[in-house]
Structure 1
Amino acid sequence: MALNLLHRHVLEDHILGFHGGANPNHLSVVRRPVIFSVLAHAGREGQVREALAKAEDIAIRACGPSEWLAVSQTAGAEHVAAQLSAIPGVSLAEQSDGKVLMAIAGPSVRRILAKCVAVDLHPDVFAEGQSANMMCCHVVANLARTGADTFEIIVPRSFAGSVFEELTEMGREHALTASFLDA
Structure 2
Amino acid sequence: MTLSFAHRHVLEDHIVGFETKPNPHHLAVARRPTILSVLSHAGFEAGVKAALQALEGVSVRICGPAEWLAVSHSVGPEALLRLVRAIEGVSAFDHSDGRVLMQITGPNVRKILSKCLAVDIDRDRFPIGASASMQIAHVAGNLARTGEDAFEIIVPRSYAGTLFEEVKEMGREFALTAAFSPE
TM-score range, shorter chain: over 0.9
- What TM-score do you get using the length of structure 2 for normalisation? 0.97
Given that 1:168 and 1:176 are in contact with CA atoms closer than 8 Å, whether structure 2 keeps it comes out as: yes
1:97-112 to structure 2, matched below 5 A, reads: 97-112=97-112
Given that 1:25 and 1:175 are in contact with CA atoms closer than 8 Å, whether structure 2 keeps it comes out as: yes
Displacement after TM superposition at 1:56 (Å): 1.2
Given that 1:30 and 1:101 are in contact with CA atoms closer than 8 Å, whether structure 2 keeps it comes out as: yes
Displacement after TM superposition at 1:81 (Å): 1.0
SS at match of 2:71: strand
Displacement after TM superposition at 1:19 (Å): 2.9
Q: Distance in 2 between matches of 1:101 and 1:113?
A: 15
Given that 1:51 and 1:87 are in contact with CA atoms closer than 8 Å, whether structure 2 keeps it comes out as: yes
Counterpart of 2:167? 167
How big is each residue's C-alpha offset from its partner over 1:116-153, in whole Å with a ceiling of 9 and x where there is no partner? 01111111000100000000010000000000000000
Counterpart of 2:144? 144
Q: Distance in 1 between matches of 2:166 and 2:17?
A: 15
SS at match of 1:133: strand
Matched, 1:96 2:92: no
| Amino acid of the structure 1 residue aligned with 2:165 | E
Given that 2:37 and 2:67 are in contact with CA atoms closer than 8 Å, whether structure 1 keeps it comes out as: yes
Counterpart of 2:157? 157
Over 3 Å counting, the alpha-carbon distance change for 1:130 and 1:24 in structure 2 is same
Displacement after TM superposition at 1:156 (Å): 0.2
RMSD: 1.0
Displacement after TM superposition at 1:17 (Å): 5.1
Given that 1:60 and 1:71 are in contact with CA atoms closer than 8 Å, whether structure 2 keeps it comes out as: yes
| Amino acid of the structure 2 residue aligned with 1:93 | F
- What TM-score do you get using the length of structure 1 for normalisation? 0.97
Aligned residue pairs total 183
How big is each residue's C-alpha offset from its partner over 1:33-81, in whole Å with a ceiling of 9 and x where there is no partner? 1100000000111111111110111110000000000000111112211
| Unpaired runs of at least 5, structure 2 | none
Q: Distance in 2 between matches of 1:19 and 1:49?
A: 38
Q: Distance in 2 between matches of 1:5 and 1:133?
A: 32
Over 3 Å counting, the alpha-carbon distance change for 1:8 and 1:29 in structure 2 is same
User: After alignment, is 49-58 or 105-114 more displaced?
Assistant: 49-58
Q: Distance in 2 between matches of 1:3 and 1:47?
A: 43
1:34-113 to structure 2, matched below 5 A, reads: 34-113=34-113
Displacement after TM superposition at 1:5 (Å): 1.4
Given that 1:18 and 1:177 are in contact with CA atoms closer than 8 Å, whether structure 2 keeps it comes out as: no
SS at match of 2:79: helix
Displacement after TM superposition at 1:166 (Å): 0.1
Given that 2:35 and 2:69 are in contact with CA atoms closer than 8 Å, whether structure 1 keeps it comes out as: yes
SS at match of 2:144: strand
Q: Distance in 1 between matches of 2:99 and 2:16?
A: 20
